[in-house]
Every structure is written in structure tokens, then in C-alpha cells.
Structure 1
Amino acid sequence: MAGEIAETEELYSPYVGLVYMFNLIVGTGALTMPKAFATAGWLVSLFLLVFLGFMSFMTTTFVTEAMAAANAQLHWKRIENHQEEEDDNSSTASDSDSLIQDNYEQAEKRPILSVQRRGAPNLFEITDRVEMGQMASMFFNKVGVNLFYFCIIIYLYGDLAIYAAAVPFSLMQVSCSATGNYSCGVESDTKYNDTDLCWGPLRRVDTYRIYLAVFTLLLGPFTFFDVQKTKYLQILTSLMRWIAFAIMIVLALVRIGRGQGEGHPPLADFSGVRNLFGVCVYSFMCQHSLPSLVTPISSKRHLTRLIFLDYVLILAFYGLLSFTAIFCFRGNSLLDMYTLNFARCDIVGVAAVRFFLGLFPVFTISTNFPIIAVTLRNNWKTLFHREGGTYPWVVDRVVFPTITLVPPVLVAFCTHDLESLVGITGAYAGTGIQYVIPAFLVYLCRKDTQLAFGHETINKHRSPFRHTFWVGFVLLWAFSCFFFVTANIVLSETKL
């Protein structure tokens, strides 16, 4: 999952919210983007990156509008409950016959929708954190709610598989090269296979699986408990992430400036578009975390403009990171995890910096794995929850954590192809979360708002893309993506 979210419910300024959103979106996907750029060609990559950034911005405004509509419903229910309490209190202090007459006269004089319309601007203030699961239960039918949770669960499984593979892969690359690249003892362009020896009789793939087992034993138990108070740990990992990104960009720029750049990326190579698409979708993922991020912003007057500014900055950052990478390194030498390309002594002369960049994914991803695992476990529990029912202890504390932890670890055991894992997760589950769910949410919440508050009511946080055409366009694009990626996979398998 991209980045981290602020855990606190305290209000913060819009500009702090802008920074949080930037950190939320820019995460693991950015580290796999350079190789995807080099494979698909720089022009195709640039066009697809800008287009998918625009699509993600549009659906982000859809989710924001749905959050405001959900808040309006909750606010109005509170108003109705308050009015009922006042009516009950007044009824105890007055004669029953006169009360009936007064209530009848008030009901005849008051238009049904007048109160809603007068209070509509305030009703749509985003003050309550309404998560996407709650919005789905408010606007979707039962089938839609189940499909929503299914999509979220598949995405979180993909997230965990990516994290479970990235940490052992980084450890394998660093430790198996400890007498090589990291100590400047071999050629910097040496390419390795999984069957190559690492330590004595151990192959690289064996080392990877040992690290995976250790990773599972150390972090897996957190799935069986609740993870709390990680705010300061997240601040530390965010700081480490930006130091690492800054070092990589500066080093690549210096090398290119000295005329030592080795990259000559093609203009376009459509065979690499499938993975590029999935990586870009994954790298713009934030819609499922927007309620936690947007609700605490103190002033939401210019919320859409701030979101747009964030996306412009993120596009610029992704472009800078990827273009410096593909012109600094040869395309066939770029690794799935971009940090690992800086093991070369001719690029980084200081061993400590080489080790920091090589181990950077280990520190940052390890802190996110338990949080995502607990989130996935809770989504499983919500999906099967029945009103008023409770789970037996074994089911609650053993079964749900086990079905959360085992599948992604098995996937990571079978493959450490991070580019493919990110591409498939983004192309399928990511498309559902980023396009399909927001489109249906905004369409149904608009219908619901018109029925509840009247056609003249205006949602103050409505999306700039308010015409129904845009909803249809997003759904058509999502269907096209599913079809394209699936056809591309089938064709690739047929050629093999």
C-alpha cells in the first residue's frame, strides 16, 4: 500500500493534509516504476503516467463527494433525532389534545424539504469519518457491499504479497552481494540468477526463502493482535523514505550531468505497457484511505484545489524519479526494486550509503506489513459479520489471522517478481478500488441525495466532473483495462 496515513484524529491544516496525502500516495509503487518505464519506453510511459494521474484525481474527487453526501445523511439523522427528543419532552408538559392539534398545524405549515434545503450547505460538511465500507453499506445493495469487500480483500492480499516478497528480496540482494557489489569486489554489471550460489552450498533462492521464513516468524504474529501507537514509527519511516528518494535522484542527476549515463530508453515498447499500467495504478492508490486523511483537515474550503496541487506534485516527482533512472541505468540492468541499483561502487562510493539504500525497503515495508495485515483481518471479520452475532474465540483469534497471513506468504514463496506482483495487483484489484467503486459510489450517492434533499440541493464538495458522462467514462475505462490486461496476459502465456 502506498505510504502511511496519520493516525491522529486531531485537526490539522490543509497544507499538512497536502503533505500527508503526498506521503500516502508515494510509497512502494514508486520503487518499481523506473523498471516499468524502461520496459515500456519513455514517451508511452509519460503519456500513461499523466493520463492515469488524471483518472486517479477524478475518482478521488468522486470519493470526496460521496463522503460529503454520507456526512449529510448522518447530520440529518441527528437533526431528526434531536427534533424527536424535543417533541417527546414537550409532549410530557402539555395537554395531549392540544399537542395533537399543534403538531398537526406545524406539520401542515412546514414544507417537507424546507429544513433540509436551508441547512444543506452545512449538512455536507465532512466532519464524521465515514470509511469506504460504511459508504458502501449506505449506498450499495447487499450484493454491492459484498463485492466491495471482496475487491478490498484481494487488493490487501496483493499488498501483503508485495511486501512479503520485497523485504526478503532486498535482504537477499544485499547479503549475497556482501562480498561483491557492496564491497566493490566484482563487476558492477554482474547479473545473477536464482540458482547462483550465495553462501556456500546455499543458492540465492534458498537464501530468499530463509529470509522470508524469518520475516514471517517475526512480523506474522502481529496479525493475531491489534497494532496501535505506530505514529512515531511512521514518522521515522517517512523521514527515511524521503532521505532515500533524495539520495537516489541526486546521485542519478550527478551521474547524468557528468556524461556517465548509460540509459538509452526506447520511445515506445508496447510489450511493457501491461506492467507499466498496473504499476502506475498501484502508485496512485489512495482512494480507500481518503476518509482517514481528509476528515481531520481543519478547513476544506479549497479541498479540490489542494488535491489537484498534490497530484501535480506527485506527477512531477514520479517523472523526475523515473526519467533520471532510465537515463542513468541501462534498461536491462534496472532491478525490480530501484534502490538495489545503487549497489554499484562507481555510483555510490560510500559503503554505508549503499547499505542504507539496499536495506531501505526492509525498514519501511516492515513497519507497514502488520498494519495492512490487521486491516485485512478486520475486513474479513466485517464481511462475515452478522448483526448481533459474535465469533467464537478460535475463529476470531486463530482462523481470521491465519487466512490473512498464509496466502500472501505462499505467493511470496513462489515468486519474488515484484514488477509483476505490483502490476497484477494494480491492474485488477487496484482498478476496482480506484475506478469502479468510486464511480458507483458517486453515481448512487447523487441519486440518494436528490431523493433525500431535493434536486435543488448542492453538495458543496461535489466533484468538478459532475456530469454523468464522466462516471460512464471511468467505468468504460475500467472495463477496457480489465480486458486489455487479461488479453495481454493470455497472449504472453500463449507465446511461452
Structure 2
Amino acid sequence: MAGGITETGELYSPLVGLVYMFNLIVGTGALTMPRAFAAAGWAVSLALIAFLGFMSYMTTTFMIEAMAAANAQLRWKRREQEEVDDSDSSSEYSNDNDVLCRGRSEPESKPICRSVKRSAGHVDHFDIVERVEMGQMASMFFNKGGVNMFYVCIIVYLYGDLAIYAAAVPMSLMEVTCGNHSCGAGGLKYNDTDPCWGSVSREDAYRVFLTAFMLLVGPFTFFNAQKTKYLQIFTSLMRWIAFTMMIVFAVIRISKGTGEGRPPAASLSGVPNLFGVCVYSFMCQHSLPSLVTPISDKRRVGVLVLADYVLILVFYVLLSLTAILCFDGSLLYDMYTLNFTDNCAVLDVPFLRYFLGLFPVFTISTNFPIIAVTLRNNWKTLFHRDGGAYPWVVDRVVFPLITLIPPVTVAFCTHNLETLVGITGAYAGTGIQYVVPSCLVYYGRRRLQPVMGGDAVNKHRSPFHHNLWVWFVLLWAASCLMFVTANIILTETHKGP
């Protein structure tokens, strides 16, 4: 995720790129959104999710512009090096019109001479042909402190991701195995202290499944794991089937007039958590280099990204509204799929109930090793970006352990997915989705303007190209963090000792 420049890989059409982006964004966060909608009220939720979708789209265009700027800077540096090499091999004395504007000892911000620009010919330096990951862009455009802050932010976000995944799988298994599937008490919610298997409580069963999950999936963190094409196709197919089923069955129940949901229009106490859930649910900025670079025709990539966000917004609204109208808000689970596993009034086909209940197990289990390996590699990069080898014990034991232990500990302490998603999205998610893209595009523009001159136009420039938009995003991010933090403090204060 936060590596260096990598090969583009196999190209695919813009339509395939649109599907990949949709699949990346619509994930675990979508399953926690219905409960957050119910807590904040339908009117407030609709307004907030529409605005946050717009903000995420804006920073996505920032990221694409920054990717183009990074490609341009790499090309200029290569061309400059070629010119320097040519000048070193030529005569020491030359006409002033043939001398390079910048040699080895000149500052990088000094403009490149016209002769170099003419030699570039018809090459568009802003073509996105090299995959420059977010961490590499941070190294190109930020100072050392900024680079370190980026890695801290991405690491915290990945920890939150792993904690969510580590809790979601055993919780789904616990609900499927301990829930009531006899259709006699559909929709009944249980306490963690209720029995599951004899004297074994539901909470104990959750921890048993969490331990088993870590023993089966955790070891992949000690090795390299890569997502294959067929695995992606499988998980995407499972996702589409599951989400479509939930929407269709909820609509059927609502159309029959048997829906139990009576959601309020507004409840401000649920807004902070909804904010975090929505930020997390629109997250894709950290993976854009891997998604956009292989697109064969990028002339309309901006239109495709806009279409993707509109589709995702409609999908989220449809999923959440049908959920809060179909189910009583107080009975909505943190993981929405679980509302179908023991409620035969909505779904009375046992196989389909088990399929939806186990859906997060199949999809999340395949993603967990990928995220864990990515986090492990970011830890390595943070401490040793200049290269070199770590001792075997540090490389193969210490880094995997510091990757696994914190999220597993959090998952052992709580399986409240709504809170985990909300906190991860509100804090680390705000940094990755708002702050980092805004800073990348801002400093990318400042870096390239004196180098390439005013006549160089970035064809992937964001529609929000005025710097006021950058400052607006940063101000919004800071305001949200203060609001969420103040709300948490007030909530804890009201709870008392």
C-alpha cells in the first residue's frame, strides 16, 4: 500500500476499473451503515452521507492529480539526468543557448531551459503510466516530518482495519452458531452473557472463534500473501449476491406492510459515529494508484470516478433506507447481515440465512492476510526506508507480531463493530481520506510549478483546482476531529464513574 514505484501490470478497460473501484469501496463499512443510519435519523443521515460522498470524491480527484504530478516529476528528473550526462560528455565550453539551465549543483526549483522542453517533443509528462504509491508520493512531496506523519496515519488506519476484520469474522460465526434459527423468536437480540453451548456463554464462544481465526489466518502475516485474480472475482461475486439479497428481501417485507422500522428524522447524538462510518465506507484513496494506473484509456477517468461515486452513494442509501424501514432500529445488529440469520419473518430459507450470516467470514477472511502484510511492510518502511536488511528475527518474527497483537487484543476486548468502524474512520480515516490527499496535491503543485513552468498543464487536474478547495477540506477535517473528540468526552463525562 505504501511502497515505492511498481510495475503497472496487466491493463484493463475503464469499465473494469470502475467495477474494481466499486468493489474496493463497498465492503465491511457498508454492513455497519444501517445501524448508524438508524441512530442518526434518516434525514440527517441522507444529508451527511451525500456531503461526505462529495468530499471523498473531491479528495479522490486530488489523488489522481497528485499521481499525475508524481509521474511528471519522475520524467523530468530522468530527462534532466540525461541532459546532465550529455553535457558531461560534451565540450566544457559551449554557447549560452546550449547550456542547461540547471546542473548538478543548482537548486531543484530552478526552471528547466527551453531547449530541454523542446527536446521533450510531444511527450505528455502527466500521463499516469507508472504506479506511484501513496507512500512514495509522500516521500517526493513532503519533508521528513510529513513522511513520518503519513506512515503513522496509515499504520493506525490499518490497525483499525485489522481490528474490525478480526472482530467481524468471529462475531458472525458466534451469531450463526449461537443464534435461534427455529423461526420461533426471530429478531430477538441476545446478550453476551446468554448461553451458547451449555455453560459456554456467547462471549466465550466469540473468543473461541477469534482464537481459531487467528490461528488459521494469522500465520499468513509471517509470509507474503497476494490477492489473485480469481480470488477477487470470487469475493466480488459473493459481495454482489449478498448485498442484492439483503436489499431485495427488505424491499419485499416493506412492500407487504410488515416492516417494523420507524426511524426518526434526526438524532444528533448518532451523528459522530455516522461520520466515522461514512468516512470509512468511502475509503479508497490509499489504493487509487493500484486501481487507476492500469486503466488503458484514462481520458475519461474523471467521469468514471464521478459515476462510481454516484452509484455507490445510491447503493448505500438504498441499503440503509431499506434496512431502517424493514427492521426496528433497536434490533439492528452492528453487522447488518446478522439481521437475516435468525429472523424468519424476513427470510425463511435456512440455506440463504446461513449464507448471509457467513458472508463476512468468506470475504473478510481472504482480505485479512493482505491487510496484515501491508501493515507489516509499512512498519518496515517507517523504520528503515533507506534500504538494507533486518536481522532474521526482527524481519520474520518481531514485525509480524507487532502487526497482529494490537488488533487481536482490541478484538478480544470488544466486538462492537459500529464503534470500531466509527473511531477508525473518524480519526485515521480522516487523515488518509482528507488530510493526506489535500497535502499531496498542494505540495505537488508547488513542487512542479517552478520546475515545469506555467505552460505545463496537468490534464488530470482536479475540477477543484483552486487552492481554496484544499484549505476547505483541511478545515473540514480539523472541525470534524474536534467535534467527534468533544462528543466522545461529553459522552464519557455523562456516563460518570
TM-score band by shorter chain is over 0.9
Q: Which runs of 5+ in 2 are unaligned?
A: 2-6, 103-110
Aligned partner (choices 130, 133, 143) of residue 131 of structure 1: 133
Partner of 1:55: 55
Query: Which residue of structure 2 aligns with residue 275 of structure 1?
Result: 273
Q: How does 1:76-95 map to 2 (within 5 A)?
A: 76-86=76-86, 91=90
Q: Secondary structure at the match of 2:196?
A: strand
2:416 is the alignment partner of 1:424 = no
1:106 counterpart (87, 95, 98): 98
* Equivalences for residues 251-330 of structure 1 within 5 A: 251-330=249-328
**Match of 1:145?**
147
Give the 5 Å matches for 1:337-416.
Answer: 337-343=335-341, 344-416=343-415
| Cα distance, 1:174 vs structure 2 | 0.4
Contact 2:112 2:452 in 1 (8 A): no
- Runs (4 or more) in structure 1 with deviation over 4 Å come to 84-88, 102-105, 108-111, 117-121
Whether the aligned pair in 2 keeps the contact of 1:21 and 1:310 (CA below 8 Å) is yes
Report the 3-state secondary structure (helix = DSSP H, G, I; strand = E; otherwise coil) of the residue aligned with 2:461.
Answer: coil
Quick one: distance in 2 between partners of 1:116 and 1:229?
41
Shift of residue 109, structure 1, vs aligned partner: 11
Aligned equivalents of 1:38, 1:411: Cα separation in 2: 25
Quote the Cα distance in structure 2 between the aligned partners of 1:121 and 1:63.
Answer: 22
Q: Is the 8 A contact 1:165 1:412 kept in 2?
A: yes
Aligned partners of 1:175 and 1:73: how far apart in 2?
55
The 1-side partners of 2:230 and 2:338 are apart by 27
Supply the AA of the counterpart residue of 2:224: D
SS at match of 2:265: coil
> Which residue in the other structure is 2:37 paired with?
37
Q: 1:81 to 1:275 in 2, by over 3 A?
A: same
C-alpha distance in 1, partners of 2:471/2:212? Answer: 47
In the superposition, relative to structure 1, how do residues 255 and 449 fare at CA in structure 2: closer, same or farther (>3 Å)? same
Q: Deviations over 1:108-167 (max 9, x none)?
A: 899943234865870000000000000000000000000000000000000000000000
- C-alpha displacement of 1:338: 0.4
Kept in 2: contact 1:120–1:457 (CA 8 A): no
Residue aligned with 2:46, SS: helix
SS in 2 for 1:455: coil
Of residues 164-173 and 109-118 in structure 1, the stretch that sits farther from structure 2 once superposed is: 109-118
TM-score (norm 2): 0.93
| Equivalent residue in structure 1 for 2:169, among 152, 167, 170 | 167
Q: How does 1:226-265 map to 2 (within 5 A)?
A: 226-228=224-226, 230-265=228-263
Between structures 1 and 2, the one with greater helix share: 1
Letter in 2 for 1:164: A
Residue 482 of structure 1 pairs with residue 484 of structure 2: no
RMSD of aligned residue pairs (Cα, Å): 1.9
Write out per-residue CA displacement over residues 222-272 of structure 1, whole angstroms, 9 at most, x where no aligned residue.
Answer: 000000353211210110110000111110111111111111100000011
The one-letter code sitting in structure 2 at the alignment partner of 1:467 is: H
Whether 1:158 aligns to 2:157 is no
Task: Report the Cα distance in structure 2 between the residues aligned to 1:392 and 1:109, rounded to whole angstroms.
Answer: 45
Whether 1:469 aligns to 2:468 is: yes
Residues 209/123 of structure 1: CA separation in 2 closer, same or farther (3 Å cut):
same
**Equivalents in 1 of 2:18, 2:8: separation in Å?**
15
Query: Percent of aligned pairs with the same residue?
Result: 70
For 2:456, the equivalent position in structure 1 comes to: 457
Does the residue aligned with 2:415 lie in a helix, a strand or coil?
coil
In 2, the alpha carbon distance for the partners of 1:193 and 1:83 equals 71
Q: Distance in 2 between matches of 1:253 and 1:41?
A: 19
Question: For 2:186, which of 185, 188, 202 is the aligned residue?
Answer: 188
Distance 1:108 1:210, change over 3 A: closer
| Structure 1 Cα separation of the partners of residues 415 and 253 of structure 2 | 29
Q: Is the 8 A contact 2:279 2:429 kept in 1?
A: yes
User: How far does residue 78 in structure 1 lie from its aligned partner after superposition?
Assistant: 2.2
Residue 257 of structure 2: SS of its match in structure 1?
A: coil
Per-residue Cα deviation, 1:310-361 (whole angstroms, up to 9, x for no partner): 1001100001111111111110111000000012112112100000000000
Distance in 1 (alpha carbons) for counterparts of 2:99 and 2:65: 32
Q: What is the total number of aligned residue pairs between the two structures?
A: 479
- Larger mean CA deviation between 113-122 and 304-313 belongs to 113-122
CA deviations over 1:418-442 (Å, ceiling 9, x no partner):
0000000000000000011111111
**Contact 2:187 2:339 survives alignment (8 Å):** no
SS in structure 2 of the partner of residue 348 of structure 1: coil
Partner of 1:24 in structure 2? 24
